[in-house]
């Protein structure tokens, strides 16, 4: 089992990695997943500790990181944002310096992406972005691992993302550009992904062969896509925008009707949690075309590989 040697200390965004490093993480993920299916776990992070800072609540992120490092022989410390000194005025800088003396890595799930950047800048140990308002790199890596473990033919990896151009969309675009996967984002004009991020991804895509499209037409996006992806319309912290966003995104949902406009063999993806019958119909989410729970499982295995690559050196 080969542990990748990464150039980066941290995983703040997907662009901290190269294509080769991502593929190395995927190979390690596959090996760790195979071991887990056999009931075997390796102490690759024996006695190492991960501090997990949560300013946003979570199911998948908390459980997958905590279970993951336990399976690797390490230990996780859950730090609720309301319980630690960040809420009482301690700076991110000071928190980073203190935790660097106590633990071997930090995972943070927060609102402002600047918090992740500042934490990584000041910590002497690896920092992993478990989610910010602008990026969700662990999710995107798990999603593309889910695709890569299914596909022998790279031409079948075209993805259509339907809905809000949010943090998940940002990380999917970046990952697609690095891996050479075509991606089409169907969204209203008011909820497009960040334009600078898209342009940067397109520059990356000139080397990888990826095509990145932004469209208003969900049917056009899914026409030749093998993987159809969506996410919740209302992210945590956006509750005041809910009515306006729901109205704008009403036509951007994965339904049986939309599936009928695309390939008969396409698969459906969602990062969860899902607001059933809002951004995706329950009949679609629970259908044989859904690989949503494969994605959820792969968060565990991909994040184990990420922790090994960053904390195991």
Active site residues: 109, 136, 139, 231, 271, 299
Cβ contacts of 158 within 8 Å, gap of 6 or more: 181, 182, 183, 184, 224, 225, 226, 227
Cβ contacts of 133 within 8 Å, gap of 6 or more: 111, 112, 113, 167, 235, 237
Pairing verdict, β 49-54 and 75-80: parallel
Give the DSSP letter of residue 191.
G
Q: The tokens of 300 are what?
A: 């565990």
E strands within 39-190?
A: 49-54, 75-80, 105-109, 127-131, 159-162, 183-186
Q: Which of 72, 66, 1, 6 shows the shortest CA–CA distance to 30?
A: 1
């Amino acid at each position: 089992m080969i542990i990748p040697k990464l150039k980066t200390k941290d995983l703040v965004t997907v662009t901290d990695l190269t294509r080769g490093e991502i593929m190395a993480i995927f190979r390690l993920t596959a090996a760790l997943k195979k071991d887990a299916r056999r009931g075997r776990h390796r102490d690759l992070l024996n006695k190492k500790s991960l501090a997990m800072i949560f300013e946003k609540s979570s199911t998948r992120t908390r459980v997958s990181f905590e279970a993951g490092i336990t399976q690797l022989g390490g230990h996780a410390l859950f730090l609720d944002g309301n319980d630690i000194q960040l809420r009482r005025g301690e700076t991110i800088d000071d928190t980073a310096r203190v935790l660097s003396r106590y633990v071997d890595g930090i995972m943070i799930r927060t609102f402002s992406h600047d918090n992740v950047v500042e934490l990584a800048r000041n910590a002497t140990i690896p920092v992993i972005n478990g989610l910010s308002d602008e990026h969700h790199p662990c999710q995107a890596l798990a999603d593309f691992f889910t695709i890569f473990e299914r596909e022998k033919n790279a031409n079948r990896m075209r993805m259509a993302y339907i809905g809000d151009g949010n943090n998940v969309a940002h990380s999917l675009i970046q990952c697609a550009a690095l891996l050479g996967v075509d991606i089409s984002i169907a969204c209203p004009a008011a909820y497009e992904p960040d334009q600078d991020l898209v342009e940067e991804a397109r520059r990356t895509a000139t080397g990888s062969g990826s095509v990145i499209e932004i469209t208003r037409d969900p049917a056009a996006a899914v026409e030749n896509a093998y993987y159809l992806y969506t996410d919740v319309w209302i992210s945590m912290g956006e509750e005041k925008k809910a009515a306006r966003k729901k109205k704008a995104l009403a036509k951007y949902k994965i339904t049986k009707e939309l599936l009928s406009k695309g390939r008969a063999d396409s698969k459906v993806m969602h990062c969860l949690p899902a607001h059933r019958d809002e951004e995706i119909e329950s009949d679609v989410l629970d259908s044989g075309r859904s690989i949503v729970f494969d994605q959820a499982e792969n968060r565990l295995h991909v994040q184990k590989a990420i922790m090994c690559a960053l904390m195991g050196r």
